[in-house]
Amino acid sequence: EAGVVQSPRYKIIEKKQPVAFWCNPISGHNTLYWYRQNLGQGPELLIRYENEEAVDDSQLPKDRFSAERLKGVDSTLKIQPAELGDSAVYLCASSSRDYNYEQYFGPGTRLTVT
C-alpha cells in the first residue's frame, strides 16, 4: 500500500512570493490533516478535513494561508504571500476509521523563505 505522498519535497522561495503544497492521502482515508513543524518542535495542526469539509481550521492563518480538498481526495495548501516566518516543514497526514483513526504522515515539504 502506498503511503501519503507529498510534493514538492523541498521549496525555496523569496518572501512575498506564493507557494503551494500538494498531498495525496492513503487510498480510502477520508480524514486529511495539514501540519506545520518548526525546527526542533512537534507538528502543529493547521487544518483537518473530513472528506471535502474543513472541520477544524482554527489554527490556519487565514489572511495568507488557504487549503482545499475539492473531491475529498487530494489536497492543496497555499501560502500567499509567504513570509520569512513561514519557513518550516509542512506535513500532510491521513487517517481512516477502518484503521483505528491512526494518522499516517507523509515525508513533508521543507519550505525555506529567503
Partner 1 sequence: GESVGLHLPTLSVQEGDNSIINCAYSNSASDYFIWYKQESGKGPQFIIDIRSNMDKRQGQRVTVLLNKTVKHLSLQIAATQPGDSAVYFCAENPSRRYSTLTFGKGTMLLVSP
CA pair distance 11, 34, nearest whole angstrom: 17
CA pair distance 52, 39, nearest whole angstrom: 30
Stretch 41-80 residues interacting with partner 1 (CB under 8 A): 41-45, 48, 56
**Any contact of residue 25 with partner 1 (CB under 8 A)?**
no
**Any contact of residue 107 with partner 1 (CB under 8 A)?**
yes
Q: Which of 33, 34, 49, 65 touches partner 1 by CB under 8 A?
A: 33
Neighbour count for residue 51 (Cβ, 10 Å): 12
Closest distance to partner 1 from the beta carbon of 95 (Å):
6
Q: Which grid coordinates are listed for 12? A: 525555496
**Any contact of residue 14 with partner 1 (CB under 8 A)?**
no
CA pair distance 114, 112, nearest whole angstrom: 6
Query: Considering beta carbons, is residue 86 or 109 the nearer one to partner 1?
Result: 109
Tell me the window of 16-24, 62-70, 72-80, 105-113 that interacts with partner 1 (CB under 8 A): 105-113
Q: Which grid coordinates are listed for 4? A: 501519503
